[in-house]
Amino acid sequence: MTAEALATEQPDNVDMGELAPYAGGPRLTDAESRHGAVSLTWADGTRADFPLMWLRDHCACAQCRHPRTRERLVRIIDLPETLPEPAVTLTASGALHLEWPAMSGFNVHESLFDAGWLYQRADAYRADPLDVDRKIPWTSAIADALPVADHHAFMHTEAGLCDWLQALDRYGFALLRNGPTEPGEVIRVAERVGWPRETNFGRHFDVVSMPDPNNAAYTAVALEPHVDLPNWQRPPDFQLLYCLANEAEGGESTLTDGLAVAWALRDRDPDAYRILTETRIDFRFQDENADIHYRGPVIGCDDNGNPSVLRFNNWIRDTLRLPAAEVDGFYRAYRRFWGMLRDPAWTLRFMLRPGEMIAFDNLRVLHGRDTFDPNTGHRHLQGTYLDRDLIRSRQRVLERATA
C-alpha cells in the first residue's frame, strides 16, 4: 500500500525520546509496506527500507519507551517472530504512522515516527549511527593549521570546550594554550571533560627525569613514537600532557597519526600489514608493585577489518614468544612500520611551552619526545588519562545545543 505525502509545510516534531537533535531534515514523500519492511522515500531522493521488526522495536510511544528515562520498554521477545504488515500512512505533518494489527495477546498498536529521526538512521544497518567516522587523517603538514584552543575559552565557555572536543575527535589530538603553570592543572582540565582514569602510575603522573625511574618517560632518554600502556587489556583511550616547565635543552615533542600510517602500510606493504594485524605479541610492565601483561596485535582491527587500535611501544614489549619460523617475518614487518612511524613526513614536531597542554587519542596518535639534557634546566610535565566514553558523551551533549 502507498501513502502520498499530505504535508507541504515544515513538519511538527514527533517526540522520539531522543535528546540529540533530529529535526530539520527533508520531509518524507512516500511510505510503502513491502516484503517485511517499510520502504521510505524523502524529498531529497533518499530511500531506505526499514525492517518491520526494527520499526516495532523502535516505537517511541509511552508504552514502548519510558517517557522519562527514554529507555526501551518494548520487548520483542514477547511478539511473534514474523510480524503482520502494519497499515502505513504519512500524517499531515509528515510523520510516519503505523497501525499494527492485533496479534497473539496484543491489541492493535499505533507507532509514530519522526521523519528526521528516521532520516538520520537511514543507514543504521551499516554503522553505529552515533559514531560515523569523522576522523581526518593527517601528516606533518598539519603543523600549518594546528587544532588548538585557548585554555580560558576551554575552561569557561561551552563553545570553547565543544570546539576542542570536536578537533580531538577529528584529528586525534588537540592543544591548549595560555594556561596557568600551577601543579595539578592537568586534573582540573581533565575534570572539565570527565573523570580522570587512574592507573598504576596514579591519578596523575609527573614526567620528570628522576634518579630511580620505573619508566622510560621518567628519564631523559628520547622516546620513540609510542602508545602508553599497551600492556593493559584496556589501555587508556586518551592522554593529557600538561607542561609546567620546559627549560632544558632538547625534549621536543612529536605526534604521529598512527592510523594514517597503518593505512599507508596496508597499501605499501600488505604482507607487513597482515603480519602486524594477525600476530599477537606480549607487552609487559613490571616494578616492585605491579606486573601488568597483555598479549595482542600491534595493529588491531575493527569489525570491518580496518585498523583501529595501535599497540606500539618498544620498551614495554616483552619477550617475543613466536614460533621460530615467524620471527624473521615479524621483525621485518615491525621495522617497516616503525620506520614509517618515525618518518619526518608523518611526524608533527613542536616544543611544548609552560602553560600548554597536548591531548591525544592514545590508541590512534603516537607520541614521543627527543632526548633532553636535565643539567641545562628543569623539564616537568604532568599527565593523566581519560576514557573515550566520557569524552564522546561530553561532545554529544554539547553538540545538542549547536546542531
Q: Which of ligand OGA, Zn ion, none sits in contact with 347, Cβ below 5 to 8 A by type? A: none
Site residues, ligand OGA (CB under 6 A): 207, 217, 223, 228, 253, 367, 369, 381, 383
Q: Which of Zn ion, ligand OGA, none sits in contact with 165, Cβ below 5 to 8 A by type? A: none
With respect to ligand OGA, which residue has the nearer C-beta, 166 or 219? 219
Q: Which of Zn ion, ligand OGA, none sits in contact with 64, Cβ below 5 to 8 A by type? A: Zn ion
Residues across the chain: 403
Q: Which of Zn ion, ligand OGA, none sits in contact with 393, Cβ below 5 to 8 A by type? A: none
With respect to Zn ion, which residue has the nearer C-beta, 50 or 273? 50
CB of 62 to Zn ion, least distance (A): 8
Q: Which of ligand OGA, Zn ion, none sits in contact with 381, Cβ below 5 to 8 A by type? A: ligand OGA
φ/ψ of residue 191, rounded to 5: -70, -20
With respect to ligand OGA, which residue has the nearer C-beta, 175 or 217? 217
CB of 367 to ligand OGA, least distance (A): 5
Pairing assessment for the beta strands 307-310 and 347-350 based on DSSP bridges:
unpaired
CB 103 within 8 A of CB 14: no
Rounded CA separation 380/339 (Å) = 29
Report the helix count and the strand count for the chain, using DSSP H and E.
9, 23
Surface-to-core class of residue 45, CB atoms within 10 Å of its CB (0-12 exposed, 13-18 middle, 19+ buried): exposed
With respect to ligand OGA, which residue has the nearer C-beta, 91 or 209? 209
Pairing assessment for the beta strands 87-90 and 96-100 based on DSSP bridges:
antiparallel
With respect to Zn ion, which residue has the nearer C-beta, 63 or 306? 63
With respect to Zn ion, which residue has the nearer C-beta, 48 or 64? 64
Footprint (CB under 5 A) of Zn ion, residues 58-97 = 59, 61, 63-64
> What H or E segment, with its residue span, contains residue 191?
helix 185-193
Surface-to-core class of residue 133, CB atoms within 10 Å of its CB (0-12 exposed, 13-18 middle, 19+ buried): exposed
User: Is position 245 an interface residue for Zn ion (rule: CB under 5 A)?
Assistant: no
CB 140 within 8 A of CB 50: no
**Contacting positions for Zn ion (CB under 5 A):** 59, 61, 63-64, 228
